[in-house]
Structure 1
Amino acid sequence: MAGAAPHVMVLPFPAQGHVTPLMELSHRLVDHGFQVTFVCTEPIRKLLLDALRRNADDGEALDGIRLVSIPDGLADGDDRRDLCKFLDGISRCLPGYVEQLHHL
């Protein structure tokens, strides 16, 4: 009887330049038998799903990848381009959510 597939959590820095290559890596890991949980902030998740809908005809763009979003610690009206504010929000929120995901 074979053991469970290895499982990895992929957690890119929440900027599109980091998300895209790590999503590509996640697909390669799935191709090699890994289970992948891809963690991103809620705004990045929306951008990612929009891009996948535009580029995937069959809806299987996330096949084998569990997409999980977490808050970035900023309010809806906050400027996510303000790096200091963005980093402060992420550093306050991220550790607790990653800890929760680790125990699921």
Structure 2
Amino acid sequence: MGKPHVVVIPYPAQGHVISVMELSQNLAKQGIKINFKVDENGLIHLLSVPDGLEDGEDRNQLGKLTESLYQVMPTQPKELIHKVNGLNDDKISCVLVDIGMGLALDVAAELGIPTVGLWPAAVLQLAVLLKVPKLIDDGLIDENGNTYLVLF
């Protein structure tokens, strides 16, 4: 068996990509082959997955980008994984996924590849997102995100 081989799938927003790229570079320095971007050692390779938006569409509209990603995500990671595994003998040993791209976790699990979820954004944001169902149950927000909580 060759060196460990990780496919990294960040959410395509600057703060997510930069954080996950830094982690990927550190993993590559430890001898782990990363499919993400090319560096001088050839340990990190850039792969692209279509985001579903047309050329010229504004990718800064995160709601529109996320909606489009969720339409293409069920098929794209599977095709990417099969493509990467077919390129060489170093089969993918792990898929590291930005939680913002959570559907890729399901794809890797379906293919029997170990996964790691990463949240590169602020931990407070994650804590709030994880509590949304309870906030809805408690009547503090509704299903549309309208809040009834008053902060002083």
Q: Distance in 2 between matches of 1:17 and 1:77?
A: 21
Q: Distance in 2 between matches of 1:29 and 1:99?
A: 23
Whether 1:86 and 2:65 are equivalent positions in the alignment is yes
Count of equivalent residues: 83
* Partner secondary structure for residue 73 of structure 2: helix
Conservation of the 8 A alpha-carbon contact between 2:49 and 2:80 = no
Q: Match of 1:77?
A: 56
Structure with greater helix percent: 1
Moved over 2 A (4+): 81-84
Superposed, which structure 2 residues align to 1:1-104 within 5 Å?
Answer: 3-38=1-36, 60=40, 63-104=42-83
1:80 to partner: Cα distance: 1.7
* Partner secondary structure for residue 14 of structure 1: coil
The alignment yields a C-alpha RMSD, in angstroms, of 2.1
Q: Which runs of 5+ in 1 are unaligned?
A: 40-48, 50-58
Query: 1:61-84 CA distances to partner (integer Å, 9 max, x unpaired)?
Result: x74101001211111132222222
Q: Which runs of 5+ in 2 are unaligned?
A: 84-152
Q: TM-score, normalised by structure 2?
A: 0.49
Percent identical pairs in the alignment equals 42
Q: TM-score, normalised by structure 1?
A: 0.69
Q: Distance in 2 between matches of 1:84 and 1:29?
A: 31
